[in-house]
Amino acid sequence: MSNNYLLNLYEKALKLPAGRKIFSMVFSRKAPYFATITPTIAELRPNFCKVTFKKRKGVENHIQTVHVIAICNAMECAMGAMAEASVPKHLRWIPKGMDVTYTAKATTDITATAEANPEDWKPGNLPVTVKATRDDGTVVVEGTINLWISEKSQK
């Protein structure tokens, strides 16, 4: 067992039938906007998270590709789960900006990842690398979500 509540919950959920789906639904309730893409947290470990979601009418744009805002939503979902699974107990995080580049048409289901360097979890700016790919591995969106890391207040 990990000493992180989210990783513990994830590990417990994986032991259940449809555990990954149940965990993803519960996690999406934390920030209800995530549910608009119906994400699945496919992999979660310290400093890394992979989220997938299906290409369907509700996430398409006018040219029937996956809308980049839906993709950014998945990347932010991956970042949020990764951050919660990674942040040291004495620190807290908040996103302060996202910088992304659209690199190819998103014509299939999407896999989004977020990754941070373990040594960067200290007060100040923490750049999280985010990337989204389509089924053939082609990167469709890539960039950085910058987090502000600070000490938790002593209550």
Reported as a single tens digit per residue, the pLDDT across 118-149 is 999 999 999 999 999 999 999 999 999 999 99
Predicted confidence at residue 153, as pLDDT, reads 87
Q: Residues 32-76: pLDDT tens digits?
A: 899 999 999 999 999 999 999 999 999 999 999 999 999 999 999
pLDDT of residue 29: 87
Q: How confident is the model at residue 1 (pLDDT cuts 50, 70, 90)?
A: low
The b/e string for 73-110 (b: 16+ C-beta within 10 A; e otherwise) is bbbbbbbbbbbbbbbeeeebbeeeeeebeeeeebbbeb
Q: What is the pTM of this model?
A: 0.94
Q: Can you spell out the DSSP letters for 105-139?
A: ---S-EEEEEE--GGG-SSEEEEEEEEEEETTS-E
Which CATH number do you get for residue 11? 3.10.129.10
What is the total count of domains within the chain?
1
> Residue 31: pLDDT band by 50, 70, 90 thresholds?
confident
Residue (of 53, 115, 43, 111) closest to 79 by Cα position = 115
Predicted local distance difference test score (pLDDT) of residue 44: 97
- List the domain range (segments joined by +) for residue 112: 5-151
